[in-house]
Chain A
Amino acid sequence: MRTDDLSSIILTLVTFAPLAGALLLTLLPRRDRDIRIFALVVSLLTFVLSLHLPVYFHRAQAGFQYEIDKPWVSTPNIHYHMGVDGFSMWLVVLTTFLTPLCVLISWKSVHDRVKEFFILLLILETALIGVFTSLDLFLFYFFWESTLIPMALLIGIFGHERKVYAAVKFFMYTMIGSVFMLAAILWLYAHTGSFDFVTIRDQIASGAVPQFPAAAQWLFLGFFLAFAVKVPLFPFHTWLPDAHVEAPTAGSVLLAGVLLKMGTYGMLRFNLGLFPEQARRNAPWIMVLALIGIIYGALVAMVQPNMKKLVAYSSVSHLGFVVLGIFSFTQAGLNGAMFVMLAHGISTGGLFMLTGILHERRHTYEISEFGGLAGPMPVYAASYLVIVLASAGLPLLNGFIGEFLVMSGAFQDKAVYGVLAATGVIWSAVYLLWMYQRVFYGEVTHPVNNSLGDLSLFEKVAIWPCAAAALVMGVAPILWLGAIDPAAHAALTSFAQVASRAVGR
């Protein structure tokens, strides 16, 4: 009974625990050590709370769980409606998992305006979790926009040389992308009288929305544009390398690990959930864009002299897999897309942390500045190897499962998509391993690198959970897929209906 009580409010607790922590943090005196410890405690507490979700999740059951639905504003009819299914639950856990690691990795590297940094980080966590848990379109948009401010400030205040440019570019790109989504949401509200995701979905499915057929394509595009910028799908990706290179390590981790997933999650939830017919109709060109993203991202990553930019472009490539999987409309594709999201969050988060560690020691991301680091930094090199291999998709590590599923889904849809996507896997092995070789193997080319210290305790505590998670996810993916599979199945039934209706006519 007690877990039931907790289940009804758990999403509220998980979502707002970091915000409450941030508010308390504003009252704390400016003693940096205390602030760091406090932020760590808050983020760990949130993580522990969020573990309630997978533990008590009814796996076989599709649909939303832990729902809470309370009226917030009467006119317009806005509800505080939250709930998670197999998709969003894992993204919530991913967020809460990465945030404590971000706190740890920033322990030493952030020493100026420490208080502001951790306040922003915790606010960002709340906004991110809110995006994944809200089932009211208004609430969703609300959290969606709320992620912008803390992220832009994290980049703009705590970033590197061209931080202001990167912060403003990030802000403007995503802001302009998302106003079209707002217009689409407003249209839906005007014609359904509700912001509730489930209500709107059912009304659309039953054909009860007036003028819907004429507007559907525009609505689909309105949502899609906002998400495509966030993913980022080629050709909307240009903000990403700038934002990543300039962002502080923790910012990059959350940006790549979670923020980008907002876009793919949005496609999965809204583009597929609300507009199955339009999704099917638009799938060909979207999949082409995704494939271009996979291959182009990989090729550009390969020639990057800057390690962080390389990782950033690898995100473009990996996220292409996600989009490809989503728009293949196959069970395997959807499962794989979801799994790549999680795996990418862990492994790319890890890569950014490791890259940040090197930057802290040498203040550069240039690959040519390094070489033979395996000698002076053995633990670091070993950790890096695990994460690189996970990212490159080595079997038994997490990257493999997702990409395999996506490719099999793409094959089922159209063989050529699968073939092209498969080259992406090869490319990713090329650019990652080549980078690894140049940085870690051979003789130490710059004498200054001989004196670099190996991982400190905080860094180990931040990195190793990522490596461990990558291994567990690779060995026992069923722990995750068990909950994802029914959600994917449910997401595809609406397509089956659309298809059968089309045949019936």
Chain B
Amino acid sequence: MMVSFTPAFSQALPQSDDYVRVLPEIVLSIFGIIVMVLEPLLDEEKSQKVLGLIAFIGAMAGLGATWLMSQTPGLAFWNTVRVDGFSIFFHVLVIAIAAVVILSSYEYMAVQRIRAGEYYALILFGMVGVALMSSAIELVLIFIALEISSISSYVLAGFRRHEAASAEASLKYFLLGSFATVFFLYGVALMFGATGSTNIDQISGILGAGPIPVLAYVAVALMFVGLGFKVAAVPFHVWTPDVYEGAPAPVVGFMSTAPKAAAFAVLLRVVFVIDVHAIFWVIWVSAALSMTLGNVSALVQNNVKRLLAYSSIAHAGYLLVAFAAAPALGASAAMFYAATYAAMNVGAFAVVSHFANAGEKYVTLEDYEGLGRSSPLLAATLTIFLLSLIGIPLTGGFFAKFYVFSAAVKANLIWLTVVGVLNSGIGAYYYLRIIVVMYMREARKDVPVTPIPWTLGLALASCMAVTIYLGVVPGSVLQYAQDSAQQLVRQYAQPTLLIPKQVQGSPQ
């Protein structure tokens, strides 16, 4: 007994590597706690600046921790967490999003007179959940991570406390969100029933060994419902416009990118486990509906935040196109898309949050009239983000769409591609409307123009740099995405999932 106990016991104790592999989460939690502890000790005026700075340092430290983590890839904490290229990619992505959102919140908080303490702490805590989602390979842990990130976002959505719309957003998000996570949990339970395990690696092994039980399909479909809610895919999208309209603008920038990226990461891991063809049509239909409904509804929006909400539904659809495509091709395209979308959307919401001013008064299209003249720099920045959202060359959005559709064509999803390209044509219209009112209309209303503080400037500059970088030299990021996707394929290699590396025809 003792002989077998000793190795089991030593295995049971977490090693130092285990901690390194969740170091970003640890660092972010510590900084979140520091913010919470300091908040009551500082007077209100000061707290705004100091806490924001601490949170920003926390995010930067989180990036550093990610670098440390990336040095020791492998499993941690009894096979519940895996550090691989895939999770590193999403860690960097979501923590970078948080850093930019913190920077752009700096001014917003002061203008809206919102007490800063919990706000920054919640962003950091939410980030812990979001980051953990991308590296967890244990379904229960994924669920916990999902809840950590969701609960933070519920509270963040209601942060404009004196506004009814914000409270409504928070409550709506909370009620529908909890409902959706229950579906996810139910899916986990069914998966456990079908395979006797909640570990993705083991599930993959068990499902690969024999015929796949029907229960497993049901489980994946239910998980898709839960995650589909998070990514705002049709038909689980109804909450999106209201929540985005009511929630504080920087929070929307955060909500529409980081948790979404993480949910897509989980979805990617999950679809690799089970034969994708089982839920292929579910994804196909959801992708086509998301693109079409999102774009068509966005056409008639007058509120810029609502418009961007519908646009985010449409973009979730484009991302799902990548999922419907063959996994390895689609995975790298989806990862690239998630990164690009984050850069341009956080950037766009940063502009919106600056321009909205106290009480978020100026968020309709009429308010944007003549912005090109009154505030040329801000207008030019927003234009670049919008062009990227359309998918115009020299911006990341172009390559993102390009890779997604190219993966879809390779997987022979011609019709889905046609729906997609048509949609990107329709989508051009409403983004263009914003550009048109900014440059081609004279201002009718007296909208105050405030100078851009350096923090916001830095946030915008970094978003823009990433957007353009991905549009001019996308190679390195895509290469990384492809390598980690290949790694993922190898981990869960099933004969049906393997695809030929290169289609014939050798490029010289």
Contact = CB atoms under 8 A, between A and B. Distances in A.
Contacts of B441: 164
B507 interface: yes
Contacts of B482: 75
A418 interface: no
A167 B432 CA distance: 10
A77 B436 contact: no
Contacts of A190: 406, 409-410, 503
A182 B508 CA distance: 23
Q: Interface residue tally of chain B, by bracket?
A: 35 or more
A182 B391 CA distance: 12
A171 interface: yes
B506 A193 contact: yes
Interface in B378-403: 387, 392-394, 398, 402-403
B505 A194 contact: yes
Interface stretch (B25-33, B235-243, B422-430): B422-430
A148 B475 contact: no
Interface stretch (B66-74, B187-195, B413-421): B413-421
B432 A193 contact: no
Interface in B468-508: 473-475, 478-479, 482, 502-508
Given A153-B439, A193-B506, A75 B479 contact: yes
Interface in A94-144: 138, 141-143
B405 interface: yes
Contact of A189 (B406, B440, B504, B506): B406
A179 interface: yes
Given A179-B422, A182-B421, A193 B504 contact: yes
Contacts of A164: 436, 440-441
A186 B417 contact: yes
Q: In this complex, which of B387, B421, B504, B508 has the most chain A Cβ atoms within 10 angstroms of its Cβ?
A: B421
A74 interface: yes
A277 interface: no
A62 interface: no
A193 B505 contact: yes
A168 B409 contact: no
Contacts of A437: none
Contacts of A199: 505, 507-508
A186 B479 contact: no
A145 interface: yes
B376 to A, nearest CB: 9
Given A183-B409, A186-B405, A203-B505, 11 more contacts: A75-B479, A142-B398, A149-B387, A164-B436, A164-B440, A168-B429, A168-B432, A168-B436, A171-B432, A175-B428, A192-B505
Interface of A: 72-77, 138, 141-143, 145-146, 148-149, 152-153, 156-157, 163-164, 167-168, 171-172, 175-176, 179-180, 182-183, 186-187, 189-194, 196, 199, 203, 208-210
Interface of B: 387, 392-394, 398, 402-403, 405-406, 408-410, 414, 417-418, 421-422, 424-426, 428-429, 432-433, 436, 439-441, 473-475, 478-479, 482, 502-508
26 contacts: A74-B475, A75-B475, A75-B479, A76-B406, A77-B507, A138-B402, A142-B394, A143-B393, A145-B393, A145-B398, A149-B392, A152-B432, A164-B436, A172-B432, A176-B425, A176-B426, A179-B422, A183-B405, A183-B417, A183-B418, A183-B421, A186-B405, A190-B406, A191-B503, A193-B504, A194-B505
The 3 closest A-B pairs by CB, nearest first: A193-B505, A179-B421, A176-B425
